[in-house]
Amino acid sequence: MIVRLAKTVVMVGMMGAGKTAVGTALARQLGVPFLDSDEEIVRAANRSIAEIFERDGEPFFRARETEVISRLLRGTPCILSTGGGAFLSAANRRMIHDVGVSVWLRADLDLLWQRVRHKTTRPLLRTANPRETLRELYEARMPLYAEADLVVDGAPDLSVEDMAHSVRQALLTRP
């Protein structure tokens, strides 16, 4: 199916929610471009997210994140996956709300933890107790993710394709 998107669909939610995987599948199902703000930041900086956090600090990363999202939102409508912290800034939320449709991929903490526990690439989880850090981030962030236009729930038995289908349905039936 090839559609013409009226607005960019912005995937938001916690690390491990499946924003990139589901966004990629959704873009393929709809025949529209897929972009990932983390990937764009990494490409422009020519180093990994972990290296950027380590060498330049989180505020530098967040500034690049806002710039990249702002630039991508001005381009052709696409499916845009964002990093888990992108929707926390009020300025980013406003910008996304003004031009795009935000979709919160919601998943419970156990599922998120199962997905991220063996990955060492996420700088925010390089703590003495990453499970506890993930829980703290989750609790602090939930009310902000809840400001997204749409919510789609993940579950352990749902495939990426199923999730992409649920997002499509949510987009089609949104008020």
Residues that bind ligand S3P (CB under 6 A): 15, 19, 38, 49, 83-85, 122-124
Which CB atom, from 122 or from 168, has the smaller least distance to ligand S3P? 122
Which CB atom, from 108 or from 169, has the smaller least distance to ligand S3P? 108
Element at 81 (helix H, strand E): strand 79-81
Which CB atom, from 85 or from 154, has the smaller least distance to ligand S3P? 85
Structure tokens at 48: 């990994």
Cα–Cα distance, 17 to 99 (Å, whole number): 23
Residue 87 DSSP class? G
Which CB atom, from 86 or from 150, has the smaller least distance to ligand S3P? 86
CA dihedral 20, 145, 90, 55 (to 10 degrees): -50
Minimum gap (Å) between residue 105 Cβ and ligand S3P = 10
Minimum gap (Å) between residue 175 Cβ and ligand S3P = 27
Which CB atom, from 120 or from 169, has the smaller least distance to ligand S3P? 120
Minimum gap (Å) between residue 18 Cβ and ligand S3P = 9
Minimum gap (Å) between residue 15 Cβ and ligand S3P = 3
- Report which residue's Cβ sits closest to ligand S3P: 83
Nearest C-alpha neighbor of 38 from the set 81, 4, 91: 81
- In SS3 terms, 120-135 reads as CCCHHHCCCCHHHHHH
Minimum gap (Å) between residue 172 Cβ and ligand S3P = 26
Helices H, strands E: what count in the chain? 8, 5
Whether 150 and 144 have beta carbons less than 8 Å apart is answered as no
